[in-house]
Structure 1
Amino acid sequence: MKRLPAALATAAVGAATVAALPMTGAAAATGGVTGYATQNGGTTGGAGGTTVKATTGTAIHQALCGRASSSTPITIQVEGTITVGNTAKVSGTSCTTAAGVIEIKEVSNVTIVGVGAGAVFDQIGIHLRGSANIIVQNVTVRNVKKSGSPTSNGGDAIGMESNVHNVWIDHNTLYASGGEDEGYDSLIDMKAGTTYVTVSYNTLRNSGRGGLVGSSDSDLANGPVTFHHNLYENIDSRTPLLRGATAHIYNNYYVNLNESGINPRAGGKARVDNNYFKNSKDVLGTFYTDLPGSWQVSGNIFDNVTWSAPSDENNPAGPDPRSNTSISIPYAYQLDAAGCVPQIVTATAGAGTGLQVSNGSCSVTPPPATTPPTTTPPPTTTPPSGGNLSIGAGADGSSKASGTSYGNVIDGSTGTSWSPAGSTGDISVKWGAATTISRVVIKESAAGRIGAWHLLNADTGAVLSSGTGAGTITFAATSLKKITFRITSASATPTVAEFETYAS
């Protein structure tokens, strides 16, 4: 495969020859889980369950095996580097695991999420088999091999097979250091009955194969799958390969696809909307087979893209891509204009980007309101030590109900409160100079109303923590001028009496 630097150049599009297809409209944007993973009952992962932390692969397996049942919801926060060497088989009534691979097998209702800048899975793959309602978010998986040493997961960074459904692969970085000759296989593979998957805001880089949906021309019962706002860089082929599957592919940024790109075949169908293809070859079509696939295209930009001549086993869609099928999309979504896709995707895709997303209008926003809580254990009610730094600070918010005030959360009195104008909203504490915070206490006047929330560094939009319910929230010490408590769900109108902040 072609060798490129690992980092993608993010310069603005220059004067290269650009071809664009007409843009079509779309329904309103949705937040949190998007695409086909919202169908078939939806995808919530471990939301509503317990939260545990893991610093080894063995600890991940122990968390799965320690549940009351194989379907008990759980969020596993992963820190540090996971390797083949620290991943042992663990046995239990609620799990089936194996050494040398992260095994999400015959289980459901699980979230695996990297903490902060994200965990690293070094030469070890994540394997989903016979599982449902799974979220993998904010992790880096690198250099997983099928030959050489060590080997893991058949050489796939993330592999799904054998009746897997409702999976969300989001904000991850997946890369190899070469192709099949160097011992690697794919970055994301789906086969043997994998359905209702969304792959969003990921970086896939430096691999011979991006991924497939369907492992052979007889493995045709997979999909549908949504791919959106992903960065594919220096990939030889399969971005993705679709055998008999339907995929909605929109707002992705493709750079240096060396041999071929989106490859529907054997009845596979791709709806390809508002993507940006740059410095690439044969980015769409049916390749390496005489079993045709089809595509619907709209709004894409082809920047320095070359096309092969048609042959018995190659049917490129270009140089003037036209639709040859029609694909109906059952969920709501909103398209960024293709021209801003390079900027949006490079700002949001991959681990360690704060789970930021596009607002569908070529701007970046913090994590959407319906993202499942994924980054902190349930808060406790033990107050921290030290002085409350909110006293004497300022406060503002997104809205306030009649009779309430932003300032009521920093006055040191639980007899006053703030409520949003609706059931959700933001309340913030702010200072004139940078202040180091590592703990927050949220006190309610009417207990038990606050549901899910995010705690944000309002200076940068980064998520400091997420969870459910009021109480004490701890996180890595952070210097900031403004901190925001964002309530994203509630059982009734929330009433926040105090928003206390502490250095330790």
Structure 2
Amino acid sequence: MKRTPAWRIPAVVAALAVVSTTGVVLTTSQASAAGTATGYATQNGGTTGGAGGRTVHASTGTQIHQALCARPNTSTPITIEVEGTVNHGNTSKVSGDGCDTSDDVIELKRVSNITIIGVGRGAVFDQLGIHIRESSNIIIQNVTVRNVKKSGSPTSNGGDAIGMEKDVRNVWVDHATLEASGGEDEGHDGLFDMKNNTRYVTLSYSILRNSGRGGLIGSSESDTSNGYVTFHHNLYQNIDSRTPLLRGGDAHMYNNHYVGLVKSGINSRAGAHAKVDNNYFRDSKDVLGTFYTNELGYWQVGGNVYDNVTWSSEGSENHPAGPDPRSNTTVNIPYNYDLDRADCVPGIVSRTAGDDTGLAESDGSC
């Protein structure tokens, strides 16, 4: 895998702009997401988002929907550059040949070939989630999604910051900041959830923090049709559990920094297989194992650092991998990737992860 040095920051090409009759700014460039997809998102034909299509600038949720709906059909490629705060007050349902939208949520439903990328002063989805359903070839890059709720007021997207469900294929989420201000008791659900036959997904260079639930792959012990998900160079911070919860399928976690996992971390269960490479776990509890069930999962470990990690005892519905984590399976990874040293991961992730880092990536140096 070719690396992009941290000092080489990809940029969206500046372009001459005109304003359409809907208020959406249409640019003459064909800018696309910076960089290329990595991990499992490179499989199954790859993930290119809206590359090759028109670029549209939007500052509200309604304008995002207008851009989707104005396409000739649901598969016409499009890149939507977002600048500003998207919230319930400016996100309404729009109809058209290229969309299937709803009020109060960014709805990517039965569509394909779309990039949503934050530009300029940044893109914040405030208390409003991004919902991907029956869709494919989606890129979401350089955005913040915060405080999405499933109960209380306002509510959006079942409480997930980014949620994928039902026949979703090839999604790359990169340089995102996904955060909440509490757990289920405060009305929040997961930050990054995949359900009901979601496959070939990569989450890279992102921050997930201050939530009860980091995310899951599979909504129940019987929902095992999901998988082939890569997590790399992400920061999980102040999370109770689910970093992620994996039910069935394969997942690859490498070069992530996990800090302050309160109850449990990577929860591989119901026959799931997790490859866990060169991650740095700090000030956390039960960072790997099968938890809250006796439906066991499996893991292959190597090169990880466990810094002030505590482990509970083996018991009914509690099967920690530690205190001396050993592999109990082999997971074959079909793509090329470069590993940073685990002891370098905290510094690398602090410089590169999240939506306000200029899309910086690791250059392999410590």
TM over 0.5: yes
Query: Kindly tell me: are residues 117 and 231 of structure 1, through their superposed partners in 2, closer, same or farther at Cα, counting changes over 3 Å?
Result: farther
Read off the aligned partner of 1:356 and give its amino acid letter: A
Match for residue 270 of structure 1? Answer: 274
Find the aligned partners of 2:3 and 2:89 in 1 and give their Cα distance.
Answer: 43
Q: Which has the larger radius of gyration?
A: 1
> Shift in Å at residue 118 of structure 1?
2.3
Query: Kindly tell me: are residues 311 and 117 of structure 1, through their superposed partners in 2, closer, same or farther at Cα, counting changes over 3 Å?
Result: farther
- Preserved CA contact (<8 Å) 1:28 1:332: no
Gaps of 5+ in 2: 5-34
Find the aligned partners of 1:109 and 1:307 in 2 and give their Cα distance.
Answer: 44
- Preserved CA contact (<8 Å) 1:175 1:204: yes
- Preserved CA contact (<8 Å) 2:3 2:362: no
> Shift in Å at residue 312 of structure 1?
1.3
Match for residue 101 of structure 1? Answer: 105
Find the aligned partners of 1:298 and 1:315 in 2 and give their Cα distance.
Answer: 19
From 231, 238, 243, the equivalent of 1:239 is 243
| Number of positions where the alignment pairs a residue of Structure 1 with one of Structure 2 | 336
1:180 aligns with 2:184: yes
1:283 aligns with 2:287: yes
Mapping 1:64-79, distance limit 5 Å: 64-79=68-83
1:215 aligns with 2:219: yes
CA deviation profile, 1:383-422 (whole Å, cap 9, x unmatched): xxxxxxxxxxxxxxxxxxxxxxxxxxxxxxxxxxxxxxxx
1:356 aligns with 2:351: no
Q: Secondary structure at the match of 1:220?
A: coil
Find the aligned partners of 1:59 and 1:28 in 2 and give their Cα distance.
Answer: 36
Find the aligned partners of 2:332 and 2:283 in 1 and give their Cα distance.
Answer: 30
Find the aligned partners of 2:347 and 2:293 in 1 and give their Cα distance.
Answer: 35
Match for residue 57 of structure 1? Answer: 61
- Preserved CA contact (<8 Å) 1:157 1:186: yes
Q: Secondary structure at the match of 2:208?
A: strand
Q: Secondary structure at the match of 2:120?
A: coil
Match for residue 32 of structure 1? Answer: 36
Gaps of 5+ in 1: 1-26, 364-504
Identical-residue share of aligned pairs (%): 71
> Shift in Å at residue 28 of structure 1?
7.0
Read off the aligned partner of 2:320 and give its amino acid letter: P
Match for residue 197 of structure 2? Answer: 193
Mapping 1:76-475, distance limit 5 Å: 76-359=80-363, 361-362=364-365
Find the aligned partners of 2:332 and 2:159 in 1 and give their Cα distance.
Answer: 34
Read off the aligned partner of 1:88 and give its amino acid letter: S
Q: Secondary structure at the match of 1:310?
A: coil
CA deviation profile, 1:114-146 (whole Å, cap 9, x unmatched): 003520000000000000000000000000000
> Shift in Å at residue 77 of structure 1?
0.4
Find the aligned partners of 1:294 and 1:193 in 2 and give their Cα distance.
Answer: 20
- Preserved CA contact (<8 Å) 2:49 2:115: yes
Read off the aligned partner of 2:191 and give its amino acid letter: L
Find the aligned partners of 1:75 and 1:43 in 2 and give their Cα distance.
Answer: 13
- Preserved CA contact (<8 Å) 1:246 1:268: yes
Query: Kindly tell me: are residues 350 and 117 of structure 1, through their superposed partners in 2, closer, same or farther at Cα, counting changes over 3 Å?
Result: farther
Find the aligned partners of 1:28 and 1:132 in 2 and give their Cα distance.
Answer: 25
Q: Secondary structure at the match of 1:91?
A: coil
Match for residue 48 of structure 2? Answer: 44
TM-score (ref. length: structure 2): 0.90
